[in-house]
Amino acid sequence: MAITLQEVRQNCQKARSRMAQARAEKWAFGAFNLDDEPTLEAVARAAKVKNAPVLVEVSQGEVDSIGLANVRDMVDNAKREMGVEMYINLDHSPSVEAAKKGIDAGFEFIHIDVSQANHNASDEEIIAATREVVEYARFTGALVESEPHYFGGSSNLHTEAIDYTEIRKTFSTPEGTKQFRDATGIDTFAAAIGNLHGKYPVPKKLDLDLLRELRAAVDCNISLHGGSGTPAHYFRGAVEIGVTKININSDMRIAYRLALEKALKERPNEYSVAKLIEEYVIPEVQKVVEDKIDTFNSAGKAVV
């Protein structure tokens, strides 16, 4: 069933007001990557059990594999069938054109990240692209997220150590954050305070003092990417300071992979992979999502 423009605008307005509510009440939306239908099922079940509002998100790889319209339909079906509060985020959209397609598809959250596709993009190019998406999003009311720099790492299991000397070079600054927000009009600023895409051999360390400075510098929403492999106390502190969106991907993918490997080992004669995914994989991914919901203080906060 196709979603109407009126429904899209209503969803976007609700998402906007709920982000403001999250900040006021000191909780955050978990933004969980959607690799396939079983991943969506795991997130929806966790949201139902915890009575929590959630975002599911897709980046360009998932868009190419699943399709924007299919993602919209899958999420809307899950919302109706499960009775959960769920929104869609287009994560790390690599171009203005790709971001506009996400807005046209009715996604409530859009992350424009031209530096992801072009690490050498100039400040002027990033600002111009972001501003164009912000203006285009006014048609539906979608919330636009961005940052003025390339965000390192990848959503995978890494074996190398974290080089904080290098990472600190790309940390957000209060002055830069305010300048970027003022220049673009974004709804959400993706902060860099030690968070990094992927999961590493050692836990990540977040600079919460810097986060407090960023929170004081701007009045827009603040998000944290690269949430996997981060000790829970950092997230609790970040939510208390005013972060309202935290992205999780690698923790889910690792749980998925390990559960599937276990299933294949324990049930070598079972050729219904869908059955193995239902019995082994979905419950393990659901556990990850439930744990993050508790950590982000969003359990019991759903408004359906």
pLDDT digits (tens, 9 = 90+) for 271-298: 999 999 999 999 999 999 999 999 999 9
Q: Which helix (H) or strand (E) holds 159?
A: none
So what's the pLDDT on residue 201? 64
Number of separate domains in the chain? 1
Give the C-alpha distances (Å, rounded to integers) separating 178 from 22, 111, 219, 255: 21, 18, 9, 37
pLDDT (mean) for 224-229: 86
The reply to whether 263 falls in a domain is yes
Rounded CA separation 174/22 (Å): 22
pLDDT (mean) for 74-101: 97
Does the structure show a pLDDT above 90 at 167? no
So what's the pLDDT on residue 16? 98
So what's the pLDDT on residue 157? 67
So what's the pLDDT on residue 234? 96
Identify the CATH number of the domain in which residue 227 sits.
3.20.20.70
pLDDT (mean) for 224-230: 86
The reply to whether 145 falls in a domain is yes
So what's the pLDDT on residue 153? 58
Q: Are strands 86-93 and 54-58 parallel, antiparallel or unpaired?
A: parallel
The reply to whether 139 falls in a domain is yes
pLDDT (mean) for 184-188: 98
| Spatial CB neighbours of 118, under 8 Å, sequence gap ≥ 6 | 125
Question: Is residue 67 classed as helix, strand or coil in its secondary structure?
Answer: coil
Does the structure show a pLDDT above 70 at 151? no
The reply to whether 42 falls in a domain is yes
pLDDT band (50, 70, 90) for residue 87: very high
Which residue range is the domain that position 122 belongs to? Answer: 5-295
Beta bridge partners of 120: none
- Of 39-48, 195-204, 241-250, which range is least confident? 195-204
| Spatial CB neighbours of 42, under 8 Å, sequence gap ≥ 6 | 252, 281, 282, 283, 285, 286, 289
Rounded CA separation 298/54 (Å): 9
So what's the pLDDT on residue 150? 66
Does the structure show a pLDDT above 80 at 200? no
DSSP H helices in the chain = 5-25, 37-50, 60-66, 68-82, 96-104, 114-117, 123-137, 164-167, 174-184, 208-217, 232-241, 250-266, 273-276, 282-295
**Mean pLDDT, the chain, whole residue set:** 93
pLDDT (mean) for 238-257: 96
The reply to whether 74 falls in a domain is yes
The reply to whether 301 falls in a domain is no
Rounded CA separation 246/297 (Å): 12
Enzyme catalytic residues: 91
